[in-house]
Amino acid sequence: MTFFQKAGIKVNGTRLSVIAGLLLTSAIAYQQLPSASFASKIIHRMDLFLYDLRFNISLENRQVSASLNKIIIVDIDERSLKSVGRWPWSRKIVANLVENLIEQQVSTITFDMVFSEPENNLIDTLSREADLGKEHVLTKHLDDLRELFDYDMLMAEIIGKHDVILGYILHDESFAISELAEPTAFSDVPPEEVPAPFMKGHTSNIPVLHKSAIGTGFINAAPDGDGVVRRAPLVMRSEKGLQSSLALQTAMAFQLLDEVTVETVAHGGRQVVKGLHLGSQFIPTDKYGRMLIPFRGGAKTYPYYSAADILDGAVPMDELQGSIVLVGTSAIGLVDVRATPVGIGYPGVEAQANIVDALLTGNVPYKPDWASGANALIVVGLGLLLSSVMPLCGPLLMTAIGSGGLILVAYGNYWLWHNGGVDLSLSGPLIEVSTLYALFLSVGYFRASHQKEQIRSMFGQYVAPAHIDRLMEASGDSTFQGESREMTVLFSDIRNFTSISETVHADKLKDLLNRFFTPMTEIIFNQQGTVDKYVGDMIMAFWGAPLKDESQQEHAINTALLMLEKVEEIKLVFTELGYPPINVGIGINTGMMNVGDMGSSYRRAYTVLGDAVNLGARLESITRFYGSQLLVSEATKSGLEDKFVFRELDNIQVKGKSKPVKIYELLAFSYKATPELLDSVELYRQARGTYLQMQWNKAAGLFRQLSEQDKDSEQVCDIYLHRIDRYQDTAPDQDWQGVWIHESK
């Protein structure tokens, strides 16, 4: 006997589990390859979420030191707008801002914005508003002052004195505003073969500023499908060639470089971008020329200076000396904020600062070319290992192995990112471990539950499923402490069963009862009820135990109405079999009852006891008296008037009780009620109302009218007509409440 046989392991079942695990592994491994498309969107979204989670955990676990490069942000913030005025500012103010920065001896100045429209010259505005013609005496004097108020030229002269980089926007639409910069990025293959995005149009700076700037770069972002910016395009294609981004232009200006080289490699019959050479640095990118942005922290990680302070000269001289300055805005009204892994409202200008910093240091994370293959191999390796081990383990050991696998995969992925900047997708291996764990745990569960199903098949026809579940969860302890709780009980009895049993042979009687009890029990179980017992032709069921049921009254009433509908179907079957037709009476009551396992050491029963139970039995027994099929107590009816059609049948005092009880006849589901039924209920309400008011003649007339219109109400109408005759002879007491005392049980 092998070890597995001693352990009680079924080899065939294990083999099937292993095969299923390997097939699942193959499917998940295939999804790691670039050619896969099925479920790729879901996996991609999961990878984005895990990327952000890993990024922030890594950020929390490393100490953020000061940047090796002195990068600062001049912020056109709310205070600047309040001090200077709303945006856009006059080019004279912007020129003063640049001039003050030059006096601080900064290294480069980059504007994360576009000056695409010329500023109106004050002289032109005066001439237009005053409607001066060319011959007017003031026109020549104003023309002499025009250059003095040409603030576009003033700004151009100022930025021409220093290394200033301006931004522009590339568009997918075919329209152009102003001139586009000449390419500064080149590759060994023709630009049209570089798979960087091709942009048809652009919005650039006005020519006078464009020509004065040392460089210009596009400021386009590249958000992922969820709108979060994780990558930055370094190059894009235009009709002129490969254009450089604003951050790349800033890094080039700082390093005194005139151009960069984009490295491409052939892959699958076409060129893809591998990265670009920035001086001595190689910057890895994806195949479209986008780099992962290594955000150094949340907003305000880099030093911020308010533009108002720069304009006012409030920054000490030489404090900004040698720094790379990026001019942008964090003001809410200017809406230059983006969603990033480190924050939703992240200033766009600080995102540029992170990119510039990474380009200068060369510390750029990347997804290697072999990432897809590596993920596929990891998935295959995990699948082989887990498929070989997990099917042989119990649930606790399996859970430990699965948890350990998840931790190992997550830590390995995190270690590569944190220490090497290598971005490997994490969703595939996590899905692999989780799915195999779920698969093998489910297989183990089904094996373990097979024995429970055998118990269920043996006792399910006698004991409620909820009670069986409770027994199986009780670790072999089948005794339950009795408890008192509000419950609902139902009694159902076949009418005139004694007469039926005398006319039907024993074998046929057994078959008749089985054909009756089986669908009735199924209805009870479907409505979350517990069958207490079968006594001859009687069924007793209850709701609210062993599991609590907040809708117990509704479930019990549903059961009763469905049972009556089923009885009508059974009658047709019995007619075909030659069995006598059957009718049933049902009584339902709700109240406090005692429930629990009760009996002797030889036999026990999970049952209910109490006065409320007895009242339910009495309601069933008096259905014959009223000629009704279904009676419920007021406690059962309460709150369900909108879902079912009731009529207050009587106010009775049963034998052995001093307190009267209102009983109701349950007629139908509200949605099934016909207009005729509702008219009959209303007529009955009027008849009983006049009866309670002791208007005997009027009540008698209404009951006779109801008896003629509704044959199902004949018996109850006869009952009230007999009572009226009696009360007309002997009037009830003045405090009479319409209570009728039932002497028999």
Please give the full DSSP string across 338-400, using - where no structure is assigned.
EEETTEEEEEHHHHHHHHHHHHHH----B--TTHHHHHHHHHHHHHHHHHHHGGGS-HHHHHH
Give the long-range contacts of residues 534-538, CB within 8 A, separation 24 or more.
Answer: 536/497, 537/493, 537/494, 537/497, 537/513, 538/491, 538/492, 538/493, 538/494
Six token digits for residue 414: 């995190």
Closest listed residue to residue 388, CA positions, set 674, 717, 4, 5: 4
> Cβ distance 698 to 713 under 8 Å?
no
The confidence score (pLDDT) of residue 467 equals 59
Closest listed residue to residue 21, CA positions, set 447, 440, 442: 440
CA distance 253 to 88: 26
Closest listed residue to residue 54, CA positions, set 409, 338, 550, 435: 409
Nearest-10 crossing angle of helices 246-254, 348-361 = 50
- Measured in degrees and rounded to the nearest 5, phi and psi for residue 530 equal -115, 125
CA distance 629 to 723: 22
Sign of the CA dihedral running 181, 185, 186, 189: negative
Which tens digits make up the pLDDT trace of 527-566? 989 888 888 889 999 998 877 889 999 999 999 999 999 9
The confidence score (pLDDT) of residue 133 equals 58
The confidence score (pLDDT) of residue 137 equals 53
CA distance 286 to 233: 9
Written as one letter, the residue type at 59 is: L
Q: Residue 724: count other Cβ atoms within 10 Å of its Cβ.
A: 18
The confidence score (pLDDT) of residue 653 equals 87
Which tens digits make up the pLDDT trace of 591-611? 999 988 777 766 667 789 999
Q: Alpha helix (H) ranges present in 599-695?
A: 611-621, 623-626, 634-637, 675-692
571 burial via Cβ count (<10 Å: 0-12, 13-18, 19+): middle
Q: What is the mean pLDDT of each run of 10 residues along the chain (745 residues)?
A: 40 67 76 61 84 88 69 93 91 95 94 92 67 59 71 94 94 88 88 91 94 94 90 94 95 93 86 91 92 92 94 90 93 81 91 94 88 83 85 86 91 90 87 85 74 56 59 48 86 89 87 92 90 89 86 95 95 91 94 84 78 93 93 94 94 80 94 93 94 93 93 92 91 83 70
Closest listed residue to residue 56, CA positions, set 222, 227, 297: 297
> Cβ distance 588 to 487 under 8 Å?
no
Mean pLDDT across the chain = 86
**Cis omega (within 30 of 0) for bond into 465:** no
The confidence score (pLDDT) of residue 67 equals 65
Q: Per-domain residue ranges for the chain?
A: 3-63+368-450, 71-361, 475-640, 672-745
Give the long-range contacts of residues 458-462, CB within 8 A, separation 24 or more.
Answer: 461/521, 462/531
The confidence score (pLDDT) of residue 169 equals 95
Label residues 729-743 b or e (16+ Cβ within 10 Å = b). eeeeeeeeebeeeee
**3-class SS of residue 127:** helix
- Measured in degrees and rounded to the nearest 5, phi and psi for residue 569 equal -70, -40
Six token digits for residue 461: 């026809």
Written as one letter, the residue type at 344 is: I
215-218/164-171 β-pairing: parallel
The confidence score (pLDDT) of residue 359 equals 94
Label residues 231-260 b or e (16+ Cβ within 10 Å = b). bbbbbbbbeebbbbbbbbbbbbbbeeeeeb
The confidence score (pLDDT) of residue 502 equals 84
Determine the topology of domain 475-640 in CATH.
Alpha-Beta Plaits (3.30.70)
> Cβ distance 77 to 349 under 8 Å?
no
